[in-house]
Amino acid sequence: MDSDEPVRKEYLLAALRLRDHPALIGWTMCDDMWDVYFPFIQKAVAIIRRYDHRLPITGTFMDLRHPNTVRDWTKWIHLMDFPLDYIYPLQRDRATNGYAGEIGGGLKDIERLMAHTRTVWENVFTEQFLQAQYAGLAR
């Protein structure tokens, strides 16, 4: 994504040349994707689907942290093959640095985020990144 042109077609078309490479297992449309990006992501998915019907498509759904902020999850469910979310479990956990957990971090929040994802997407394969973000721990 780009601030001037959120979907740069030339980038997508360049990446599409790799669609049959055995190392490519799917398309992740956006990191830190919000509901407001839907028109741009929808356009990018349409371009990819024109050339590739084989590989799954997903994106990092930040709104799954607070799913009630999205009015219509159906549009995303029809657009993406499965949800992808992530959390920094070490960043805001009392056991690691004394901060109270919330949906942006903390080991208990992994379960909360999965519960939110199941509420929206029901019983579907879900990928969740469990990243270790140490920048928040340095003091």
Q: Tell me the pLDDT tens digit for each residue of 11-40.
A: 777 888 888 888 888 998 888 889 999 998
> Would you say residue 1 has pLDDT above 50?
no
Would you say 75 and 38 are in contact if contact means Cβ atoms under 8 Å apart? yes
What's the chain's average pLDDT? 80
Per the CB < 8 A criterion, the answer to whether 106 and 65 are in contact is no
Domains in the chain, number: 1
Confidence at residue 113, expressed as pLDDT on a 0 to 100 scale = 86
Higher pLDDT, 19 or 10: 19
pTM: 0.77
Q: What distances in angstroms separate CA 80 from CA 20, 33, 92, 135, 139, one per listed residue?
A: 20, 12, 29, 31, 39
Residue 131 is predicted with a pLDDT of 64
What's the CA gap between 111 and 127, in Å, rounded?
Answer: 13
> Has residue 109 been placed in a domain?
yes
pLDDT of residue 108: 76
84 closest CA partner among 121, 53, 112, 51: 121
Residue 3 included in any domain? no
CATH at 40: 3.20.20
Mean pLDDT for the stretch of residues 69-91 = 88
- More confident: 12 or 112: 112
Q: Is residue 73 part of a domain?
A: yes
Question: pLDDT value at position 99?
Answer: 65
Specify if 23 maps to a domain. yes
* DSSP letters spanning 33-58: B-GGGHHHHHHHHHHHHHH-SSS-EE
At residue 57, the pLDDT reads: 93
Report the sign of the C-alpha dihedral through residues 49, 84, 124, 24, in that order: positive
What pLDDT score does 73 carry?
A: 96
Of 102 and 78, more confident = 78
- Residue 111's pLDDT is 83
Domain range for 126 is 9-130
* Domain assignment of residue 137, yes or no: no
